[in-house]
Structure 1
Amino acid sequence: MKMKKGIVITAMILLLASCSMNTIVYAGEICTKEAEERIADKIVVKYREYKGRLQYRRWNETKGYWVDSHWIDV
């Protein structure tokens, strides 16, 4: 009797946990604009050779602009 009661309680807890996880995922899908704002920017380092010197500059690939205002010598 105690074993059966324990199994039923465990099953109810798992059911409630899975329902709450589905709610969280669903809420995240609705709030896509807010989620996009929290995504970290992807920064890419671009290299070039200019007048015999190697230079680099960082580009924000997420928002589409240069992070550095000018090329930096390596």
Structure 2
Amino acid sequence: MKRNKVESILLIAVLALSIQTGSYSAAITDRELDQYYAKNIQEKSTDVIVWKYRVWNGKKQKRRWNKTKNRWEDPAWKDV
């Protein structure tokens, strides 16, 4: 019987905490959400991509390099 009482108290505590979290997220306005999403979209679209050139076996080649993510955008070098 004592164990059932402890389980009931824990269940009530968990439910009370979940209700508080839900009410907090509802307090965020639509304008704040729009600003948050606009900022994330802007950050993702600001990649700086440059062309890198080299001469390999007498042929000039080019490849795109993403400066923001420090990685190649193209899978292989292309002849120019």
**TM-score when normalising by structure 1:** 0.50
